[in-house]
Amino acid sequence: MIGVARRVAMVVLHMSLVFAGGPAASAEVAWPVRRTEIVEPRSFGYVIGDTLTRRVVLETDGGATLDADRLPKPGRVSNWLELVDVTARRRGAGEGARHELNLTYQIFNSAPEVSTRALPALRIPLKTAAGTAFHDVPQFLFTSGSITPEYVAAREGLEEMRPDAPPPPLSTASVRARLALYGLALAAIALYFVYSYLGLPFFARSRGPFARALQAVNAAARARDEREGRQAALKALHGAFNETARGTVFGEHLDRFFAEHARYAPLRPEVERFYADSRREFFGTGSTELTLSWLAALARNLRDCERGVA
């Protein structure tokens, strides 16, 4: 019986060598992984929601590459874990190529007390010239527990859950400073328009020859005698022109006046009419088409030019 058993064993061994290509053929096929590096996460201190990442680096020979189609796919792997991300990268090619595989797991269940869990073992598929080979990576053990223990030490301040801490207040100094600057800018713009269009007489009374001439013209409009009021208005405007030019201004000297005081140039036609009718009023027939309302409008426009807001 012993001889029969020996012969059967020899036959089985011979057939296995034939189907496997024989000892010589086996010696010609090299294992594609030259070196393996596994970087594991820490093995303790995890609670629900935490993630663990395994990093496996394989240095291969013979042009072996990772079979991306047969790598693990994201999804639940146990009652406690879910594979949430799988990334694979290759550095180099041919002999000595490095393949990096990163697998990130997340804990989605909470244990009532600290217990031991395991990241599953891996079979990493590698494409070679002879077919697909699998490189095995063992499972990884770690511990996880509940976020807070069911029981705590019976000491003051530890018996009951405390409310959430209020969020720290954000500094609003820069916002307040910016709002203050915006307010000052708006106030300056508002004052400019009030000064330009409403006149602000309490500022204008003591400023500018034409501003004072406008007041005199408005006062002359209230005179009982129209001709007397018109002449008073004309004299007030002549005085403003002379004060502005720092000398006497005559109708034939207007070119020099406008050359030295260009801000009044847009009103040149009205000013020339004013001087022509004023000459007729004082040195001619005394008839003029100037009215107190027209003189008031001219004085107002001259004042605006004087202020630089016309």
Summarize pLDDT for 234-259 with one digit per residue, the tens: 898 989 999 998 888 888 889 899 89
Domain match, 213 and 299 both: yes
Q: Terminus-to-terminus CA distance in the chain, angstroms?
A: 129
108 in any annotated domain: yes
The answer to whether residues 233 and 221 touch, using CB atoms and an 8 Å cutoff, is yes
Confidence of residue 202 (pLDDT cuts 50, 70, 90): very low
Domain match, 136 and 232 both: no
The answer to whether residues 124 and 91 touch, using CB atoms and an 8 Å cutoff, is no
The answer to whether residues 139 and 54 touch, using CB atoms and an 8 Å cutoff, is no
Domain match, 116 and 208 both: no
68 in any annotated domain: yes
Domain match, 40 and 117 both: yes
**pLDDT digits over 120-168, tens only?**
999 999 998 888 899 999 999 999 988 766 665 556 655 666 778 888 8
Q: What's the mean pLDDT when you consider all of the chain?
A: 81
The answer to whether residues 240 and 210 touch, using CB atoms and an 8 Å cutoff, is yes
275 in any annotated domain: yes
Confidence of residue 23 (pLDDT cuts 50, 70, 90): very low
C-alpha span between 139 and 134 (Å, rounded): 15
> Is residue 95 predicted with pLDDT exceeding 50?
yes
1 in any annotated domain: no
User: Nearest Cα to 205, choosing from 215, 192, 191?
Assistant: 215
Give the number of C-alpha atoms closer than 13 A to the C-alpha of residue 297, restricted to the C-beta side: 8
Asked which of 144, 175, 207 is the last residue of a domain, the reply is: 144
**8-17, 127-136, 173-182: segment of lowest average pLDDT:** 8-17
Domain match, 210 and 301 both: yes
Domain match, 289 and 207 both: yes
Number of domains in the chain: 2
C-alpha span between 237 and 216 (Å, rounded): 9
70 in any annotated domain: yes
Asked which of 113, 144, 175 is the last residue of a domain, the reply is: 144
Domain match, 123 and 213 both: no
229 in any annotated domain: yes
Domain match, 121 and 224 both: no
10 in any annotated domain: no
**pLDDT digits over 205-230, tens only?**
447 898 899 998 888 888 778 788 88
Taking phi over 0 as left and psi of -120 to 50 as alpha, with beta for the rest, 301 belongs to alpha
Domain match, 216 and 119 both: no
Domain match, 140 and 34 both: yes
Domain match, 136 and 234 both: no
Asked which of 104, 127, 144 is the last residue of a domain, the reply is: 144
Q: 154 or 73: whose pLDDT is higher?
A: 73
Q: Residue 74's domain spans which residues?
A: 30-144
User: What is the CATH number for 69?
Assistant: 2.60.40
Amino acid type, 120: P
Domain match, 204 and 302 both: yes
Q: Give the bridge partners for 85, in sequence order.
A: 104
152 in any annotated domain: no
